């Protein structure tokens, strides 16, 4: 439930409500806006009537939340939430593009890719050091060496880095290097991992599971917020359907729907959704037109040599062209392309 405090509720009034909820065993999440204080309380609904919260001084109303997710919902916070990764704000006026190779393969490859995406206007560098591969025989990533190279690329370009964590056993190591932790589609419902990653205190990029409904995706985000980490960015990356010409089916309807249901920022990954480089640009444009806050785009200096996801990776020229076109779409949407401070 949400307890909305009156416009000028005093600190004493707010504290009294907090104590009462705490004594009744509710889990409390406080949102102190400029206008008013909103208290999110998660716990046994049957105790609500006994508490008579609406009779307490300073309480404007008590709103039960009917959706299964609470902290991610608009009812809890009108939003929009702006997530800061380094100096880059995701979910504000600017469209942020995170780009880079699917996997960190070598020093030369990563530094070249980082320079290319920075020059073209990306504001975050994304690359995998731990890769969730369908086959155990495929390249699995450079692991710690890959993380070190990402840190070096950040040093050289100023781009904050986003990288995936697949296993709580590697969390401390990944969190030591990363500015934002990615939970991949395959782990979206790995609830233990979600909790652990939330506690690392870094912003989280939560990809939608290939067969997850929007509600399941929001509930996965709820796990992270429920641990006290509000810096979550959702990423639509395609869902599995009967269509097999493309790798997945990009569900762009998810963008306005999630924006309607939640205050969290949403970005789109057309690379993994479509799996073929030539369709990445049109769907990236469509994603921004649908209201997405940013994009995740795979870019490789030489896609034909990539150890992972070459067919969907943009060449440097194609990425440059895409970034030019996005500027126009962003303008139509009354937004601008992000830039490094």
Residues at the contact surface with ligand PEP, assessed by CB under 6 A: 102, 128, 132, 184-186, 207, 237, 272
Nearest CA-CA partner of 276 in 325, 333, 322, 314: 314
When CB distances are held under 5 to 8 angstroms depending on the partner's kind, the choice from Mn ion, ligand PEP, none that residue 36 binds is none
Residues 86-115 that bind Mn ion (CB under 5 A): 102
Q: Which is closer to ligand PEP, CB of 36 or CB of 133?
A: 133
When CB distances are held under 5 to 8 angstroms depending on the partner's kind, the choice from Mn ion, ligand PEP, none that residue 132 binds is ligand PEP
User: Residue 55 Cβ, how far from Mn ion at the closest point, in Å?
Assistant: 55
Q: Which is closer to Mn ion, CB of 54 or CB of 167?
A: 167
User: Residue 303 Cβ, how far from ligand PEP at the closest point, in Å?
Assistant: 15
When CB distances are held under 5 to 8 angstroms depending on the partner's kind, the choice from ligand PEP, Mn ion, none that residue 259 binds is none
Q: Which is closer to ligand PEP, CB of 196 or CB of 269?
A: 269
Strand partners, 3: 39, 62
Cα(301)–Cα(317) distance, integer angstroms: 9
**Range 208-213, long-range pairs (CB < 8 A, 24+ positions):** 208/234, 208/235, 208/236, 208/237, 208/239, 208/251, 208/254, 209/185, 210/185, 210/186, 210/237, 210/238, 210/239, 210/240, 210/248, 211/239, 211/240, 212/188, 212/239
User: Residue 166 Cβ, how far from ligand PEP at the closest point, in Å?
Assistant: 10
* 164 scored as a contact of Mn ion (CB under 5 A): no
- DSSP for 158-181, please give it: ---EEEE---GGGHHHHHHH-SEE
Q: Which is closer to ligand PEP, CB of 154 or CB of 272?
A: 272
Radius of gyration over every alpha carbon of the chain, rounded to an integer in angstroms = 21
**Across 220-335, where does the E strand assignment appear?**
232-236, 266-268, 294-298
Residues 40 and 28: beta-carbon distance below 8 Å: yes
User: Residue 103 Cβ, how far from ligand PEP at the closest point, in Å?
Assistant: 8
User: Residue 237 Cβ, how far from ligand PEP at the closest point, in Å?
Assistant: 4
Residue number with the smallest Cβ distance to ligand PEP? 184
When CB distances are held under 5 to 8 angstroms depending on the partner's kind, the choice from Mn ion, ligand PEP, none that residue 222 binds is none
Cα(71)–Cα(91) distance, integer angstroms: 17
User: Residue 24 Cβ, how far from Mn ion at the closest point, in Å?
Assistant: 47
* 309 scored as a contact of Mn ion (CB under 5 A): yes
Q: Which is closer to ligand PEP, CB of 101 or CB of 338?
A: 101
Residue with tokens 């870094």: 202
Structure tokens at 182: 């990615």
User: Residue 154 Cβ, how far from ligand PEP at the closest point, in Å?
Assistant: 18
Q: Which is closer to ligand PEP, CB of 5 or CB of 292?
A: 292
CA angle 151, 156, 158 (to 5 degrees): 80
Q: Which is closer to ligand PEP, CB of 89 or CB of 164?
A: 164
Binding site for Mn ion (CB under 5 A): 102, 309
């Amino acid at each position: 439930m949400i307890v909305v405090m009156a416009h000028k509720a005093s600190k004493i009034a707010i504290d009294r409500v907090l104590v009462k909820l705490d004594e009744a065993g509710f889990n409390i999440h406080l949102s102190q806006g400029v206008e008013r204080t909103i208290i999110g309380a998660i716990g046994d609904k049957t105790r609500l009537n006994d508490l008579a919260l609406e009779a307490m001084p300073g309480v404007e109303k008590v709103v039960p939340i009917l959706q299964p997710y609470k902290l991610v919902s608009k009812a809890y916070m009108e939003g929009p939430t702006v997530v800061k990764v380094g100096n880059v704000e995701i979910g504000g006026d600017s469209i942020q593009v995170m780009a880079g190779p699917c996997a960190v393969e070598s020093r030369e490859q990563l530094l070249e890719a980082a320079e290319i995406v920075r020059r073209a206007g990306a504001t975050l560098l994304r690359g995998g050091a731990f890769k969730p591969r369908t086959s155990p025989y495929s390249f699995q990533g450079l692991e710690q060496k890959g993380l070190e190279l990402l840190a070096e690329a950040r040093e050289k370009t100023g781009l904050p880095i986003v990288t995936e964590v697949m296993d709580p056993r590697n969390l401390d190591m990944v969190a030591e290097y990363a500015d934002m932790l990615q939970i991949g589609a395959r782990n979206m419902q790995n609830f233990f991992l979600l909790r652990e990653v939330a506690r690392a205190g870094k912003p989280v990029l939560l990809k939608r599971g290939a067969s997850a409904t929007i509600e399941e995706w929001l509930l996965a985000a709820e796990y992270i917020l429920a641990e006290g980490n509000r810096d979550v960015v959702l990423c639509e990356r395609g869902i599995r359907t009967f269509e097999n010409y493309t790798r997945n089916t990009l569900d762009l309807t998810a963008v306005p729907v999630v924006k309607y249901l939640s205050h969290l920022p949403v970005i789109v990954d057309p690379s993994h959704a479509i799996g073929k480089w030539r369709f990445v640009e049109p769907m990236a444009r469509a994603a921004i037109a649908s209201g997405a806050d940013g994009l995740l785009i795979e870019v490789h200096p030489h896609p034909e040599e990539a150890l992972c996801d070459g067919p969907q990776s943009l060449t440097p020229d194609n990425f440059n062209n895409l970034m030019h076109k996005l500027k126009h779409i962003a303008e139509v949407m009354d937004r601008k392309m992000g830039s490094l401070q």
